[in-house]
Chain A
Amino acid sequence: MADSLLLGISTDFLTAWNFWIGVGILAGIYGIFTLGLQLNVGFTGIFNFGQAGFMAIGAYSAVVLVVDVGIPFFLALPLSMAITMLVGFLIGLPAVRLRADYLAIATIAFSEVIRITVQNARGLTGGNQGTISVELENDRFFSETWDDISNWMSTNLFDPIGLTGTDFINLPLLVVIWLSLVVLAFVLARVVRSPWGRVLRAVREDEDAARALGKNAFSYKLQSLAIAAGLGGIAGWFLVLAQGSVSQEAFEPIFTFTGYAVLVIGGLASFPGVLFGSFIFWAVYEGLRALELPLASDKDAALRFVLVGLVLILLMAFRPQGVMGKKEEMVLGD
């Protein structure tokens, strides 16, 4: 490959497989994360700002169940999902009846309580400062089962077609994540057109109108939040598998805000938009990181976040429906 330069900065990474696989994995994880936000914001009208907290619960519960408690991987996952959705339900009980901005504040508060608990409750999460690792001394790996599957996939599916070597180590994970993402998006898109989804969309726009027609708006909002929590939890599992070890910093509110950036780029009330938005966001974000601008690393990161902030401001000011959002279906609150 010839060196490619843009204004004197190397753009070699654009043709590197591992760059795009990395982007794809991040885009996939945050795509699943944002599917939950879309269900809440785009289709129910609840401003869930605690999604990072649910991601944390999914990640930590899955790891603890496998590594500390010793439950088999494929049993631990549904259990973790149940726990995450239960927490979503419990948080929703007091939170969901609050008005829009209070709900936002309350969910951030809950999310932070979760994160601080994870950071400080040594007994529960072990490790230092809430870092969980995929493996533990007694040879139980969280990812053991996954590693086997991944190896199988590499050997039987990807090696034969030449996608082999260190560049493609994470290809199985990418494939599984995106498969899950697409299936989940498809299911959600169907569900919002169902009678259940119809009630949800009515609640989104005007709860009183829904109530006057015999619908229990509170219950529907609660269900929406619990499902979103579950989706956040799934994203959490994949995050742990992708990174090998995860610390509580990965669940700060800034990541929920990142999810919202993905949401608004793709557009409200559009599940395909979430896939699109997530891919675009992470491609650009990681691309900027890979550009190796002549800036110190903390300032480099800061520059990227300035751009994220500007994207949020400009989109909300000038094109709130994002790229693929349906303008008629957007209920932005009043």
Chain B
Amino acid sequence: MTDAAAASVAATAPESGPEEILEVKSVYKHFGGIRAVNGASFSVPRGSITALIGPNGAGKTTLFNIITGFYKGDAGEIRYEGRSIFGVRPYRIADHGMVRTFQITKALAAMPVIDNMMLAAPQQPGENLVGLITRRRANSRREAEVSEHAIELLERFNLAAKKDDYAGTLSGGQRKLLELARALMAQPRTLLLDEPMAGINPTLGRRLLDHMHDLRDNQGVTFVFIEHDMDVVMKHSDEVVVMAQGETIVKGPPEVIRSDQRVIDAYLGGGGSRDEPGPEARRAPDVEEGP
């Protein structure tokens, strides 16, 4: 990493703050008559890797959406770095340093890979119309910086050769990597990954996990990820939170979770799980988020 890039990362890394970087307390959310999240509580220690697991329809992605501001919860408390972010708009939450990826990858296909990456960099004076006109030199300097940082990251993910190709031409696995690399460009303090391993081959997956550990060990980035691959969960997480039917039923280290009867029941029993609207039933909302 270049000096400039390393410096900008260090500059945004707060050393102090509550030990629990993310606290979720008694969150509830219903859609029509369905209780998608029915009392979820957990907290995430700073610099840890936490896995959020549970059977399909348990409410995991819905909870992610609520935490990151894409849905408004009906009740509960969510604190990030000690500040309440309940009901805060998603772009502000991302600004605070909590970046998320999506279950269905959102690589921006109509933009070149390099644009995808540069989009994510924080503090770009050129993103502001006024800044575009008045701060020309600062803008071109930052563009050069961002571009360099982006290419570096792309190299680590083996995507640098494709940097000028439109993201739509990438394979599914490559798009997944792009989404992750892009999330990293945003220099997050906390990364929320929704099924990061889904659809990638094991080699790529291992590289991703290595990256995750590297970021956590060397830069103190906190990870929360939703995952179905139990192998990954057991081997790579410090802490596991289990959800079923909208509730967080068990929390603890992986070894403890593995043999907890309640967890086994949740996966085997399954009946009557709160149905999260799956991707097929999704339709665009009539009103999108306001400011």
Contacts and interface: CB of A to CB of B under 8 A. Distances in A.
Q: In their complex, do chains A and B touch, with some C-beta pair under 8 Å?
A: yes
Interface of A: 97-99, 102, 191, 194-196, 198-199, 201-202, 204-219, 223, 328-331, 334
A236 B118 CA distance: 37
B289 interface: yes
Given A208-B70, A216-B91, A328-B166, A198 B111 contact: yes
Given A195-B127, A215-B91, 14 more contacts: A97-B287, A98-B286, A191-B132, A194-B132, A195-B132, A201-B108, A202-B119, A205-B109, A208-B90, A217-B289, A219-B291, A328-B110, A329-B110, A330-B110
Contact of A195 (B90, B124, B168, B186): B124
Contact of B99 (A208, A212, A328, A331): A212
A218 B101 CA distance: 20
A217 B91 contact: yes
Contacts of A214: 91-92, 94-95, 99, 120, 122, 186
9 closest residue pairs by CB, A with B? A195-B126, A214-B94, A209-B106, A211-B90, A328-B166, A214-B95, A195-B127, A211-B91, A218-B291
Interface string B111-126: 1000100111010111
B285 interface: yes
B75 to A, nearest CB: 23
B284 A334 contact: yes
A196 B126 contact: yes
A37 to B, nearest CB: 18
10 contacts: A102-B286, A196-B132, A202-B111, A210-B119, A211-B90, A215-B119, A217-B289, A218-B291, A223-B129, A331-B110
A212 B90 contact: yes
Nearest to A215: B91
Contact of B110 (A97, A204, A211, A217): A204
B288 interface: yes
A196 B142 CA distance: 13
Contacts of B132: 191, 194-196
Contacts of A329: 110-111, 166
A240 B118 CA distance: 43
B286 A209 contact: no
Contacts of A97: 287-290
A31 to B, nearest CB: 23
A68 to B, nearest CB: 32
Contacts, number: 117
Nearest to B97: A214
B108 to A, nearest CB: 5
B139 interface: yes
A195 B91 contact: no
B149 interface: no
Interface residues of B, number: 46
Contact of A209 (B102, B143, B288): B102
A84 to B, nearest CB: 17
Contact of B119 (A199, A208, A216, A334): A199
B68 interface: yes
B124 to A, nearest CB: 5
Contacts of A330: 110
B108 A196 contact: no
A195 B286 CA distance: 29
Contacts of B287: 97-99
A209 B89 CA distance: 13
A97 B289 CA distance: 7
Interface in B171-196: 182-183, 186
B203 interface: no
Given A211-B94, A223-B129, A205 B110 contact: yes
A89 to B, nearest CB: 13
Contact of A206 (B68, B91, B106): B106
Interface string B75-104: 000000000000001111011000111100
A212 B68 contact: yes
A330 B108 CA distance: 12
B291 A201 contact: no
Contact of A213 (B70, B143, B168, B182): B182
Contacts of A194: 126, 132, 139
B128 interface: yes
Given A212-B68, A328-B168, A196 B128 contact: yes
Given A202-B111, A205-B111, A212 B288 contact: no
A198 B122 CA distance: 13
A215 B94 CA distance: 8
A202 B108 contact: yes
A211 to B, nearest CB: 4
A97 B166 CA distance: 27
A143 to B, nearest CB: 31
Nearest to A326: B110
Nearest to A199: B127
A208 B92 CA distance: 13
